[in-house]
Structure 1
């Protein structure tokens, strides 16, 4: 009887997990008729949300209150119903920690000479601990390479060293950065989660470090120091915890590479050789004859931010759900531009994605309710580490094992129409087949992201759901433009990152070319509609890091 039971259970697990491969030949995208998607809605919502009146849409501010009220108004007008048991909102408990007084970071060398690094210009730091005063005094400094502890890979940068109470210096990205292929201990050129700054701070805390400081370098970080400075100064938001962050480091931060070079030189350690050695398995952390000190005086406020949830209920299988996600928040007030403008309006990032939720909701409503329900989820605190989507994924209004999958929208490009489209995380899930068929109808070519080393897969809200097994797809307008080809596309991307991304000049522009955005929205519509009209349960591909999680989740259903 026992063996028979196990066999029956195994068959049930396979059936529920949706483990069959989705055959693109069985997906008929031509059956989906795309209704008019309103360009005017896109313009109006983007312009309104990114206006100075909304103060950069930081969580916990008057800008949030205006954003929430406006989104409810827009969701209602689009024909959605409240998505959380009669409410439009889901509370997301956050704590705001604002370093109102920051000391320079001083580091004393073996000769007793102190080096000083100015807050903002040379280094930034914030505390995850809910403490009014953070003091780190004469903390020993240890270079821990990439700061990775990956038992499944036999890799531990902390092996043989005790960093409790110490300050760890960490390299950004992961050891395979710079390789050209996708083969290597850490995915080759494609960044893994081990390369993200969030992981590095998490691991430093598990190791008992007092402070974790990442060495900033433009290429492996994928953005300049200006982005670090604007993102890490001012109020910082974290998820509320039962212990007030007591299990976290006292301070997490970044230091300019030029400043790190001073530290290595003062310690008599060859920086280039040490960085090269850190790329190899078996690297030994380097205890440096340096003592670091810094202090922060914090104001601490606990508050609830909110996710906004609207639903278009399905007619045949209303308990099965398709997700559309985008984050409504941005940075609020930040480091002023030379002209004194200190509002990070976040027009591209991500008023455009939030506007897309409204425009797509209205389009789907006009086409009539689909078979499955469609959930339109505008999440908070993405800029603070995907906190709103993480909270929803861990406290779902609609069970994750009844969430078929979804698409995430984050920062549309105003570069005009593209021949291709960029798929972030291409090859991970069976959702690629749906996108491939939709793209074929629209005359577009899906391509893998050209810069997987930048780790975009781990930098937007789809990742919160992927970690818990829900297949999500994240794609963007391509870089091979109809007018100007790839050189033009690359130039637009470079200009945005260098001059607008996470800065006060990410503002609405009346001269924008919306043609590429509207073409992309047709793809977002098709993919969502195909999923909502299908009976399939797409899964992660065999061998993907999230496959087992999804199989277990579906089996539990």
Structure 2
């Protein structure tokens, strides 16, 4: 998961919500959600025994076996035609023996150390990555958006060249939600996944993103821990040949030195890149580096459980969470090299079990409930993307759902933070559930960080399935917004994607349990309703849903 928790600050108003009819609160009621189940599952999944739940490792084997047994004990059924898992074909590429990143042709030769100055990986299944004297081109935000009349690559042939790219999209610093790229709210064009994909489409040999903490939404420590060690990718027929030879990141001060060597100023070029009509700037510099790759193909697994519906079992409501984390990572000062991923995302995975158990106790609703624990989210939403492309349950018969990624241990809050609010008619269900629970919705305070595109719900949303993504609230009952901001800061700076994200006996669980009551009601209301919520008019995902529904003989 590439995200942080809520950040206190001036909130931007939610877009207008479109409501739909939904079962009233009295028809749903509170769920019998077990605190013991939650605590036991999080503690187990985040224990050293599971070795950080790295995909394709012994940790995965233990995680999958554990989840199957927990789903069975919860009273759920196998979700994939009598089987508990869906195979997800992945390839693991582990880089080693990194040469320095060298820059020549400028005012002085430069050399940068991997890890502390830059990180790089290859998506290609090749034993050796070698880049020699690749011409550097500053391509601004690296966006090619014909529908917006915006092309940072216009007029330049990138074959054999390395793209130097800014993180986020051009108008992230604006205060409102109006602009070429939704103003302060990040679009998919701002995500690193898009930028690397577009560089490859342009024929680039390599792509380097300039890390800047505010628009990236995380520090260099997160980049270093996430982009070193084994990296998992989706298997492809061409072995990744259409990808760039190398994708990577450089620290902002490193980028400043590189551009200064070319007689350029990063700040000035960045300002120019924010304006429509920007033209890519060849830097007159050449980049070289090399590293070895160990390539391993394997089958990872999504775990799928379900509670069949009593009246319309071929209509499905989703709960999703990713079970994976980083596995073994860079050791901390104490020598601990296991990134346990307790909050991220043993909490969300455990919630699948606890919610499944609660729904089973309450009895089957009209529609079927699906509990989907996906693999390889940390590697780029690979497990959810594979399911969405190869759905066990047809997407045109999937009503919508709720994604749970890193539940907040800050304590109970008066509100919840709605990520991507105003996008779909699911907001009507959220409004009703919040009223029943005496809570309120707070708009996403940092839309420039693009959280809606950073977790597994996005894999379903871009194929048309309405999905909710809700964080713990900002306004804590004990300590208000200041306490919420303090918890967020501490977690982000010290624990996120680090070995210290471990289970803590001192945690107070009442906030998580309150959030689970909200998730329970949302799933139950959707599963009891006969409505088919859609995206609001003008939303980027509505066309995909409309096309899916138009082609469907049943379902939406």
Cα distance in 1 between the residues matched to 2:19 and 2:103: 59
| 1:186 alignment partner, one of 181, 199, 203 | 181
SS in 1 for 2:286: strand
* Alpha-carbon distance, 1:35 to partner: 2.7
Cα distance in 1 between the residues matched to 2:323 and 2:163: 34
TM-superposition CA deviations, 1:50-82 (whole Å, max 9, x none): 000100000000000000110001000000110
TM-superposition CA deviations, 1:273-316 (whole Å, max 9, x none): 11100000001111001100011200000000000000100010
| 1:41 alignment partner, one of 37, 41, 44 | 37
| 1:325 alignment partner, one of 316, 320, 328 | 320
Kindly indicate whether residue 90 of structure 2 is the aligned counterpart of residue 94 of structure 1.
yes
Q: Map 1:59-208; keep pairs closer than 5 Å.
A: 59-111=55-107, 113-208=108-203
What is the match of residue 523 of structure 1?
518
| 2:228 alignment partner, one of 207, 226, 233 | 233
SS in 1 for 2:483: helix
CA RMSD of aligned residues (A): 1.0
Cα distance in 2 between the residues matched to 1:375 and 1:496: 31
Contact 2:412 2:512 in 1 (8 A): yes
Cα distance in 2 between the residues matched to 1:23 and 1:183: 23
What is the match of residue 485 of structure 2?
490
| 1:412 alignment partner, one of 404, 407, 410 | 407
TM-superposition CA deviations, 1:448-471 (whole Å, max 9, x none): 111111111011000000010000
Contact 1:57 1:331 in 2 (8 A): yes
**TM-aligned CA distance change 1:36 to 1:27, over 3 Å:** closer
* Alpha-carbon distance, 1:29 to partner: 2.4
Contact 2:22 2:529 in 1 (8 A): no
* Alpha-carbon distance, 1:26 to partner: 5.4
What is the match of residue 361 of structure 2?
366
* Alpha-carbon distance, 1:30 to partner: 2.4
TM-superposition CA deviations, 1:314-371 (whole Å, max 9, x none): 0100000000000000000111111111100000000000000000000000000110
Q: Map 1:214-225; keep pairs closer than 5 Å.
A: 214-225=209-220
> Matched residue pairs, number?
536
Cα distance in 1 between the residues matched to 2:257 and 2:22: 60
What is the match of residue 294 of structure 1?
289
**TM-aligned CA distance change 1:26 to 1:334, over 3 Å:** closer
Cα distance in 1 between the residues matched to 2:22 and 2:507: 38
Cα distance in 2 between the residues matched to 1:23 and 1:232: 41
Kindly indicate whether residue 457 of structure 2 is the aligned counterpart of residue 456 of structure 1.
no
SS in 2 for 1:30: helix
* Alpha-carbon distance, 1:23 to partner: 4.0
What is the match of residue 305 of structure 1?
300
* Alpha-carbon distance, 1:28 to partner: 1.5
SS in 2 for 1:426: coil
What is the match of residue 499 of structure 1?
494
What is the match of residue 5 of structure 2?
none
Cα distance in 1 between the residues matched to 2:242 and 2:547: 30
Contact 2:21 2:531 in 1 (8 A): no
Cα distance in 1 between the residues matched to 2:349 and 2:303: 11
**TM-aligned CA distance change 1:496 to 1:282, over 3 Å:** same
Cα distance in 2 between the residues matched to 1:64 and 1:119: 28
What is the match of residue 6 of structure 2?
none
What is the match of residue 384 of structure 1?
379
Contact 2:322 2:345 in 1 (8 A): yes
* Alpha-carbon distance, 1:109 to partner: 2.9
* Alpha-carbon distance, 1:110 to partner: 2.9
What is the match of residue 11 of structure 2?
none
Cα distance in 2 between the residues matched to 1:207 and 1:119: 26
TM-superposition CA deviations, 1:490-511 (whole Å, max 9, x none): 1111111100001110000000
TM-superposition CA deviations, 1:172-198 (whole Å, max 9, x none): 000011111011000111000000000
Cα distance in 2 between the residues matched to 1:444 and 1:505: 31
TM-superposition CA deviations, 1:376-404 (whole Å, max 9, x none): 00000000000000000000000000000
Contact 1:140 1:167 in 2 (8 A): yes
Cα distance in 2 between the residues matched to 1:81 and 1:244: 36
Contact 1:89 1:309 in 2 (8 A): yes
TM-superposition CA deviations, 1:22-54 (whole Å, max 9, x none): 645654122112232111111100000000010
SS in 2 for 1:121: coil
* Alpha-carbon distance, 1:220 to partner: 0.5
What is the match of residue 52 of structure 2?
56
What is the match of residue 4 of structure 1?
none
Contact 1:175 1:279 in 2 (8 A): yes
Kindly indicate whether residue 330 of structure 2 is the aligned counterpart of residue 335 of structure 1.
yes
TM-score between both structures, scaled by the size of structure 1: 0.95
Contact 1:145 1:157 in 2 (8 A): yes
Cα distance in 1 between the residues matched to 2:142 and 2:132: 22
* Alpha-carbon distance, 1:171 to partner: 0.3
What is the match of residue 14 of structure 1?
none
TM-score between both structures, scaled by the size of structure 2: 0.95
Contact 2:31 2:520 in 1 (8 A): no
SS in 1 for 2:470: strand
SS in 1 for 2:182: coil
**TM-aligned CA distance change 1:292 to 1:22, over 3 Å:** closer
